[in-house]
Amino acid sequence: MSQSDIDSLIEEFSKAEKGNIEDIIDEFTQESSEKELLKKESEEDKQTNLKDDGNGSGQEKIKGVRLPENEHRVIDKLDEINRESEEKVNKLFEYLETITDELDKTEKLIQEIKPYMEKHKEFMDFFVEHFPKTVVKNNYEYFKNIIDITKDIENSVSVIRDSVFDAMDTLQFQDITRQKIERVISVIKALHDYLNMWFDSSYEDKPRARVAHTIVDEKEKGKIDQDVEDIIKQMQEKGEI
């Protein structure tokens, strides 16, 4: 007997004259038995109709209607999209980390050769100053070019590194997008659960994170950060934290 059956029974009891109670019990017992029988028949009917379509595809049918294969079911598909995008973003992150590692090596090499170049420049400065008419002067111009190129490489390394870091920071949007998809999944699940009440189907679900209430619009981010600071300050002033 369901909770609503019990509630109805209690309500009938509270309304009934004492003499009618036995009649109510009889009536309810009969109704419950009929409901149980109907439920059993429905289960058997479902089992009969929920079966393989017979062509070896493993695809199920309900009342002759072919159900979508697992990979085409919306929640599974959205989960797969989330999983794949996370995998790809992690892969992308690996590439970006490789770039930063190589930039580190390049920067280290530049730092290593810099003192030698400085020494060499001092040496050549001395020669050019004291022996201006020798061939050293031409080499000196080439060398100054090399120093300038090295500085350019150093600047490029710095610009590339900043861009790679910006790219890494931007990858946070994968997580934010994932949570937006999770919200869509929660709506589909709610709809599924509602329909479930009528059609008595079931969906095996995995443990899920609580769905985000609010996902900040990028344009409002500055204001939100300031709001967080204000709330923390107010609570600290009130001694609440």
Partner 1 sequence: MKIITVDDSSTMRRIIKNTLKRIGYGDEILEAGDGKEALDVLANNSVDLIITDWNMPVMDGLTFVKHIRADSKFDDTPIIMVTTEAAKEDIITALKAGVNNYIVKPFTPDVLKDKIDTVLGKKD
Q: Which residues bind partner 1 (CB under 8 A)?
A: 86, 89-90, 93, 97, 165, 168-176, 178-179, 182, 206-216, 218, 221, 224-225, 227-228, 231-232, 235, 240-241
Nearer to partner 1, 135 or 241 (CB): 241
Smallest distance from the beta carbon of 78 to partner 1, in angstroms?
15
Nearer to partner 1 (CB atom), residue 119 or residue 221: 221
In terms of phi and psi (left: phi > 0; alpha: psi -120 to 50; beta: otherwise), the region of 207 is beta
Min CB(49)–partner 1 separation in Å: 34
Distance CA 119, CA 125 (A): 10
Decide whether 48 or 170 has the Cβ nearer to partner 1: 170
Q: What is the CA radius of gyration of the chain?
A: 37
Backbone angles phi, psi at 213, to 5 degrees: -75, -45
- With respect to partner 1, which residue has the nearer C-beta, 49 or 90? 90
Q: Yes or no: say if 211 and 183 are a contact pair by the CB < 8 Å rule.
A: yes
Cβ atoms of residues 50 and 62 within 8 Å: yes
- Token couple for 59: 């695809």
Closest approach, Cβ 231 to partner 1, in A, equals 5
Least distance to partner 1 from the beta carbon of 200, Å?
27
